[in-house]
Structure 1
Amino acid sequence: MPGTVSDVRMRDIRTRTEITPALRARLRESAEQTALSGAPDHEVLAELRASGLLATAVPAEYGGAGGDAREINRVVEEIATVNPSVSIIAFQHFAVSARIAEWGTEEQKRELLPRLADGTYLAASAWSETGAGAAKQKLASTGTRRPDGTWVLNGAKSFTTGASVADIYLVLVQTEEPEADTTRVYGSVGQTFFLVMGENPGLVPDLSLDLVGMRGSATGFVSLVDCVVGATDMLGPEGRAPEIIAGVRESGATLGAVAVGTARAALDLVVDHVERRGLLEKATVRHRLVGLATRLESARAIVERAGARTSEAPGLTTLHSKLHASTEAEEICLEVARMLSSAGYVTGSRLNRLLADARAVALMGPTNDLARELVAVSWQN
């Protein structure tokens, strides 16, 4: 029976977003190198740009693959199984691409989306800053409109993934006096998003942040020093950034996919370990592995459900997917450490890198504590 139009379209998308064996091998090799250096691998990022994968979240009419949240989550998971750091960079690129596709003007879409799809531009988000809290309600960074209609951005952003390697940043600043709004737990009235090119002289990246995990993700600081942008660089309505932020979780794309990929890598590691040592003959070992595999499947299932957006509250499912997958990933990595015993207790063990990467997902926005609060608030409304 011939496939439906949607089946044909999905096969076309999948063809465009498959990771080649060669790229997979390069990503894994790069993960080992960057874990030691703590610096991004520019060569492997160039290969990522050329791979076609960055087109995943861009609509087909703008040169992209037209993938939905399920496809985004799949690609992110696949990358994370070999290189969690690069998967985070890709996730942020997909998130910015999707926000431009949803909120951008037609001019912004025509100008930016084809370049985001073909890898000319790599995108990053710069939302967090010291003192603002996980909920981003107390931003110190500001945007001031000038008489000629341009804006001047000033402030400092922290924990920006892709700092220094991105070509375009989605920057969150305060453009109006913040108002006391107890109904919000993420973002604040009067906040606005701007798209800032990496070549803007007022945007200064700094990679002095030395992370325990996600060492190759180029996560660092971004300073905005009299950074001048045009009125056409604003993404979405002025002062209404919280609506865009809320839409991120409604999309179904989830950092839980990074956690699933990381946990999958840890499980593959211990399976290989017990096979090489002939330990699969022991029922106790087999059963422990099955327990880990079941936990991994439960995490993958909720990530897939978030991407499918089939629940009555897809935004809540996305939050649950990050909470569950990141928690399970860390626990799976810890159990793998117990099974490896002394074999995993060396500085060069890949498991130690995976455990640090799994822990990092819980700290990424929205942090797990904030995600719990966002879920809890839904019961009060």
Structure 2
Amino acid sequence: MPGRDSDVLLRTQISPALLTRLYESAERTAATGEPDHEVLAELRESGVLATAVPVEYGGAGGDARTVNAVVEKLALVNPSVAIIAFQHFAVSARIAEWGSERQKKTLLPALADGSLLAASAWSETGAGAAKRKLSSTAVRRDDGAWVLDGAKSFTTGASVADIYLVLVQTEEPAEVTDSVYGSTGQTFFLVSADNPGLVPDLSLDLVGMRGSATGFVSLRSCVVTDDDRLGPEGRAPEIIAGVRESGATLGAVSMGVARAAFQLAAGHLEKRGLFGKPEVRHRMVGLATRIESAAAIVERAGARTAANPGLTTLHSKLHASGVAEDICLDVARMLGSAGYVTASRLNRLLADARAVGLMGPTNDLCRELVAATWPK
């Protein structure tokens, strides 16, 4: 439809004032290691959280390209908030794709207007990056309700989210499964933050993404109804696979980090009048070229034009996260002693760049998922 792309982008614009406050917030949370509730409240009110919600449910109707563009713009000034937003978009998209009519009508408008902030709680200690050995469980009661028990780790948005997409084991997994991510007998549930059986814990003291409210979520006799189940019982791996196929990629976060580091280097060199030297200009061109190569594969992932969109999404995270970390290291060498101080923004960017590679699916798991597509 002519004009639709520009209309969607217009509805997902981030105001310069909010971008400034996000930038300032990143500096504060890097020091405190705590989420900035005030700036998150502004994000809720900005309309940006509507990006991945279909128009018919009050959203902007953005596709993966739009999601990636918004996430990159947020990550340019505040990678921690970009990660929170990415998880919100991912849950919104899963509800739009797999949710019941009741879930769509009830949750999607609230996710769009910011009254609900969503998070994913999939990881747990001992489960492995592929989530094959979950110890968290859901047991169905005689009245049809479910009781969830267990503990989730590295949940981004813990304590600040209003609703969590929780992955649990609802039946014993089969001995053999073709799934590389997840296992048979796993099911997703949407659990409200005000459920007394869900307890967030922000005791994790992370090196990077320090304002992302990444922590633990405990499930203690957490009772939910069958209406809170997302998608078919025992078929969570299908939903997980669809996340990759969507084209939305954490590589967009890496792109924001890489561009921020490049801007930092440019400002440093300009301030010292070093751009007049050909070797300096050529070195910066080399950095810019690597950033553009990563941007191209992130764009291709979002456009979903490849024969295997899921594979491109995996490659986009691997390449963009690697480029972001390398760019930060190269800029550190450029800055020399100017970057070798605790207060340097570059140190935060480098820690954030490293963090993306550890976020699900981790880069090691991405490599396994890519390798699994090769002929045996």
TM-score interval, smaller chain: over 0.9
Could you say which residue in structure 1 is the equivalent of 2:164? 169
Within the candidate set 36, 43, 47, 2:38 is matched to: 43
Q: What is the SS of the residue equivalent to 2:373?
A: helix
1:85 aligns with 2:80: yes
Task: Tell me, in whole angstroms, the C-alpha distance in 2 between the residues paired with 1:49 and 1:196.
Answer: 20
Task: Tell me, in whole angstroms, the C-alpha distance in 2 between the residues paired with 1:380 and 1:187.
Answer: 22
1:216 aligns with 2:215: no
Give 1:192's aligned amino acid.
T
1:380 aligns with 2:375: yes
Could you say which residue in structure 2 is the equivalent of 1:257? 252
User: Residues 99-118 of structure 1: matches in 2 within 5 Å?
Assistant: 99-118=94-113
After superposition, the C-alpha distances for 1:196-238 in whole angstroms (9 at most, x for unaligned) are 0000000000000000000000000000000000000000000
1:315 aligns with 2:310: yes
Within the candidate set 21, 24, 34, 2:29 is matched to: 34
Could you say which residue in structure 2 is the equivalent of 1:207? 202
Q: What is the SS of the residue equivalent to 1:378?
A: coil
User: Residues 49-68 of structure 1: matches in 2 within 5 Å?
Assistant: 49-68=44-63
Answer whether contact 1:181 1:188 (CA < 8 A) is retained. Answer: no
The runs of 5 or more residues in structure 2 that have no matched partner are: none
Give the structure-2-normalised TM-score. Answer: 0.99
Give 2:180's aligned amino acid.
V
Give 2:311's aligned amino acid.
L
Q: Quote the offset at 1:182 in angstroms.
A: 4.6
Answer whether contact 1:153 1:225 (CA < 8 A) is retained. Answer: yes
Within the candidate set 320, 325, 337, 1:325 is matched to: 320
Within the candidate set 326, 338, 353, 1:343 is matched to: 338
After superposition, the C-alpha distances for 1:242-295 in whole angstroms (9 at most, x for unaligned) are 000000000000000000000000000000110010000011110110000000
Give the structure-1-normalised TM-score. Answer: 0.98
Could you say which residue in structure 2 is the equivalent of 1:70? 65
Q: Quote the offset at 1:10 in angstroms.
A: 1.3
Give 1:318's aligned amino acid.
T
Answer whether contact 1:40 1:217 (CA < 8 A) is retained. Answer: yes
User: Residues 213-252 of structure 1: matches in 2 within 5 Å?
Assistant: 213-252=208-247
Q: What is the SS of the residue equivalent to 1:81?
A: helix
Could you say which residue in structure 1 is the equivalent of 2:268? 273
Q: Quote the offset at 1:181 in angstroms.
A: 2.4
Could you say which residue in structure 1 is the equivalent of 2:359? 364
Q: What is the SS of the residue equivalent to 2:77?
A: coil
Q: Quote the offset at 1:373 in angstroms.
A: 0.4
Within the candidate set 264, 276, 282, 1:287 is matched to: 282
Answer whether contact 2:255 2:294 (CA < 8 A) is retained. Answer: yes
Could you say which residue in structure 2 is the equivalent of 1:306? 301
Could you say which residue in structure 2 is the equivalent of 1:15? 10
1:130 aligns with 2:121: no
After superposition, the C-alpha distances for 1:144-173 in whole angstroms (9 at most, x for unaligned) are 000000000000000000000000000000
Answer whether contact 2:117 2:162 (CA < 8 A) is retained. Answer: yes
Q: What is the SS of the residue equivalent to 1:226?
A: strand
Q: CA RMSD in A?
A: 0.6
Task: Tell me, in whole angstroms, the C-alpha distance in 2 between the residues paired with 1:356 and 1:180.
Answer: 39
Task: Tell me, in whole angstroms, the C-alpha distance in 2 between the residues paired with 1:141 and 1:260.
Answer: 34
Task: Tell me, in whole angstroms, the C-alpha distance in 2 between the residues paired with 1:87 and 1:302.
Answer: 19
**Farther-moved stretch of structure 1 (10-19 vs 155-164):** 10-19
Task: Tell me, in whole angstroms, the C-alpha distance in 2 between the residues paired with 1:231 and 1:153.
Answer: 12
Task: Tell me, in whole angstroms, the C-alpha distance in 2 between the residues paired with 1:39 and 1:280.
Answer: 38
Task: Tell me, in whole angstroms, the C-alpha distance in 1 between the residues paired with 2:10 and 2:235.
Answer: 37
Q: Percent identity?
A: 77
After superposition, the C-alpha distances for 1:315-366 in whole angstroms (9 at most, x for unaligned) are 0000000000000000000000000000000000000000000000000000
Answer whether contact 1:30 1:83 (CA < 8 A) is retained. Answer: yes
Q: What is the SS of the residue equivalent to 1:252?
A: coil
The runs of 5 or more residues in structure 1 that have no matched partner are: none
Give 2:129's aligned amino acid.
A
Task: Tell me, in whole angstroms, the C-alpha distance in 2 between the residues paired with 1:86 and 1:139.
Answer: 28
Q: What is the SS of the residue equivalent to 1:47?
A: helix
